C-alpha cells in the first residue's frame, strides 16, 4: 500500500475565484469610504493619489486598503483589484458611467 503524503492544496490563484454573489456580500461589508478607495484602486490610482483625491492622509488610505483586503479575503492589493474589476460592474450601480440614463426613478403611485 502506497500511503503517500496528502496532496498539497493548489497554489493560490492570482485572481481569487469568488462568485458575484459572494463578492456582493463582501462588498456590502465595506464602508462607503472603503468602496471609494477600492474603486480608485481599480482605476490604477496609487495610495498617494487616492489620498489626494479624497482629501485624507496617505496613512488613512493604507488603513482602508488593509481593511478592504481583510474584508474581501484576499492577500494582496493586486488580488483585490482583479476581484473588484471583475465583479464590481455587476455589484455597484453607483459606479456606473454617468452617461447611462438613470432608470431608478421611483414611480410611486404611477400604476395603482
Give residue 55's region: left, alpha or beta (phi > 0; psi -120 to 50). left
Asked if the structure places residue 51 within a domain, the reply is yes
Grid cell locating 87:
465583479
Grid cell locating 58:
496617505
Asked if the structure places residue 41 within a domain, the reply is yes
- pLDDT tens per residue across span 36-74: 999 999 999 999 999 999 999 999 999 999 999 999 999
**pTM reported for the whole predicted model:** 0.66
Count of structural domains within the chain: 1
Domain CATH for 38? 1.10.10.10
Asked if the structure places residue 85 within a domain, the reply is yes
The angle formed by the CA atoms of residues 53, 57 and 62, to the nearest 5 degrees, is 95
Asked if the structure places residue 72 within a domain, the reply is yes
Q: Is 100 helix (H, G, I), strand (E, B) or coil?
A: coil
- pLDDT tens per residue across span 5-20: 666 555 455 555 678 8
Question: Residue 57 is part of which domain span?
Answer: 20-89
What is the Cβ-side half-sphere exposure of residue 19, based on CA atoms within 13 angstroms? Answer: 3
Amino acid at each position: 500500500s502506497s500511503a503517500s503524503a496528502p496532496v498539497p492544496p493548489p497554489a493560490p490563484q492570482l485572481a481569487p475565484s469568488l462568485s458575484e454573489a459572494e463578492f456582493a456580500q463582501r462588498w456590502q461589508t465595506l464602508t462607503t469610504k472603503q468602496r471609494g478607495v477600492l474603486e480608485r484602486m481599480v482605476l490604477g490610482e496609487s495610495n498617494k493619489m487616492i489620498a489626494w483625491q479624497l482629501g485624507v492622509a496617505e496613512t488613512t488610505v493604507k488603513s482602508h486598503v488593509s481593511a478592504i483586503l481583510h474584508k474581501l479575503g484576499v492577500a494582496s492589493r493586486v488580488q483585490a483589484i482583479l476581484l473588484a474589476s471583475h465583479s464590481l460592474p455587476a455589484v455597484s450601480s453607483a459606479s456606473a458611467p454617468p452617461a447611462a440614463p438613470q432608470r431608478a426613478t421611483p414611480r410611486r403611485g404611477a400604476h395603482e
